[in-house]
Amino acid sequence: MKKIFICLLLIFILAGCYYKAPATLPKEQQNELKSFVEKYEMLMTYTIVPKEIVMLTYNKNKEMDEYNYFRKLPAELQLKYMELYWEMRSEILKKEYEERVAIANKLFKQERTNDAYKTDRGWILVICGFPDYVDTYKTDNRGDTTFTFEDDLLWEDPTVSVFQLWKYWYSPTSFLNHLIVFRFDYNFAQKIWRINEQQLDTEQIRFIYHQAEHFAPLEWDSWEQVLTRYKEGLDK
């Protein structure tokens, strides 16, 4: 599970440059598709397409992440999927997503001038929402760990280890309440925060996918109709 998550993390990081729009399309439509993927690659990477849709599309009885599902579609279906993307969800979800992106871009602009929501903390915020608690610590050369503040990093000794814990209360069932913690380590040389992949466990990964479901399509009916008409056209 952890290896799958790290692979998907790499896909998300590289998706914008990895995706190739169908060469059969006019340049303008290719650019539209590229912009679409660059904008929503984060959601597409962690959204699961159900088995019945994959079966109808590719005749394979398995789930797929939405990014890989989309990029393998024929050119005309990619265009239609882009058109229906938020229609299958809702305008309310679209507004919420864009608000989170805007906040992440503002909060983390010191790490990345453009598209700061694609930083490690940025995409966790967009997918998982705001943490219930954020604590920042530093560990000195003697191994002593104490509280610190992110604003103090400008004056901090770069030989210390600085990390931040994002804590979420998570209730996978109505009877259980878990505390999910993500650790981000500060890189003084690059001036960025990196998620600590070594401390990711199955529960954290499940939490990410659970939170991503919030932005998943509310219904697949409209897309099923498109697929059915497309197949009927091919069969004639």
19-56: pLDDT as tens digits: 899 999 999 999 999 999 999 998 999 999 999 999 99
Closest CA to 47 of 89, 19, 108, 106: 89
Q: Which two tokens stand for residue 75?
A: 């050119």
Check whether 182 has a pLDDT greater than 80: yes
| R_g (Cα) of the chain, nearest Å | 20
pLDDT (average), residues 196-224: 92
pLDDT above 90 as % of the chain: 68
pLDDT (average), residues 71-85: 96
Check whether 10 has a pLDDT greater than 50: no
With cut-offs at 50, 70 and 90, classify the pLDDT of residue 11: very low
pLDDT of residue 148: 79
pTM: 0.86
pLDDT digits (tens, 9 = 90+) for 81-99: 999 999 999 999 999 999 9
pLDDT digits (tens, 9 = 90+) for 153-165: 666 677 788 999 9
Could you give the CA distance from residue 3 to residue 12 in angstroms, rounded to a whole number? 14
Work out the burial of residue 34: count CB atoms within 10 Å of its CB; fewer than 13 is exposed, 13-18 middle, 19 or more buried: middle
Sheet holding 192-195, edge to edge: 145-147, 133-139, 161-170, 178-187, 192-195
